[in-house]
Amino acid sequence: MSSKLIEAIINLEEEESIKITQDRINSGEDPLNILNEIREAMTKIGKRFENNEYFLPDLMMSGEILRQVSDIITPKLKEIKTKDQIGKILLGTVAGDIHDIGKDIVKFMLEANGFEVLDLGVDVPVDTFVEKVKEFKPDIVALSGFLTIAFDAMKETVQKIKDAGYRDKVKIMVGGGTVDEQVKIYSEADAFGDSAVDAVNFAKKWMGVN
């Protein structure tokens, strides 16, 4: 698939991306069509980042574009009945870390693929995660972090969820710029992902969706 919107987002053309999105919404186009194109564009940006074609400033720019085009289409998406949610995901950046770009992209991609996401924001206390697991009853908990100090917070969060008796009721994934297999093992999470695409793939797999 290729379109002017996809190209504009991939090329980090902020004003053009917003204009195209607004024009298409104003014309009455199905917002799901636009959502699919945004999702494809963000996937391609993620691949460019992984291949060192794009760097952190580019990722930050794409995150800002994502936020703005999402603001345009979200009201229209809420007006239509989409397919039933395939799972509930509790998402947040762990205590001590305020990075949200990657988290926001993960949230968008998960929602675009049919998941209900409760985003707790950044610097989320361990106890808040536990409280929201109890209230929201998610199928999956996604812990985000960019700084190395986040590793201990991830481990503590997983342990507290376990102590509260919910560990066998949820799958837990961790992710962020410095997160790898060793962090997954250290935190006792079920999986780690290098990108938003990985997060979606794990979530679908755990929910039994191809």
Nearest CA among 162, 103, 172 for reference residue 139: 172
Contact (Cβ atoms closer than 8 angstroms) between residue 73 and residue 65: no
Whole-angstrom CA distances from 75 to 28, 79, 132, 171 are 13, 7, 25, 30
CA atoms in the 13 A half-sphere facing the CB of 2? 2
Task: Give the model's confidence band at 15: pLDDT under 50 very low, under 70 low, under 90 confident, else very high.
Answer: very high
Mean pLDDT of 185-200: 92
The pLDDT score that the predictor gives to residue 53 is 93
Pairing of strands 191-193, 140-144: unpaired
The pLDDT score that the predictor gives to residue 158 is 98
pLDDT more than 70, % of the chain: 96
Mean pLDDT of 40-46: 84
Mean pLDDT of 68-87: 76
The pLDDT score that the predictor gives to residue 39 is 79
- Helices and strands: H and E segment counts in the chain: 9, 5
**Cα gap 113→85, rounded to integer Å:** 9
The pLDDT score that the predictor gives to residue 47 is 83
pTM: 0.73
SS3 120: coil
The pLDDT score that the predictor gives to residue 84 is 61
The pLDDT score that the predictor gives to residue 36 is 80
Pairing of strands 171-175, 115-119: unpaired
Phi, psi at 21, each rounded to 5° = -60, -50
- Report CA torsion sign: 3, 7, 9, 13: negative
Helix or strand holding residue 93 (H, E): strand 87-93
Q: Which two tokens stand for residue 128?
A: 């808040």
More confident position, 85 or 137: 137
Mean pLDDT of 115-128: 95
pLDDT for residue 24 is more than 90: yes
**Cα gap 144→91, rounded to integer Å:** 8
Q: Which two tokens stand for residue 203?
A: 């979530």
pLDDT for residue 83 is more than 60: no
Mean pLDDT of 169-191: 95
Mean pLDDT, the chain, rounded, equals: 90
Q: Which residues pair with 92 in a beta bridge?
A: 143
The amino acid sitting at 52 is N
| Domains, the chain | 4-79 (1.10.1240.10), 87-206 (3.40.50.280)
Q: Which two tokens stand for residue 183?
A: 């962090």
Pairing of strands 171-175, 140-144: parallel
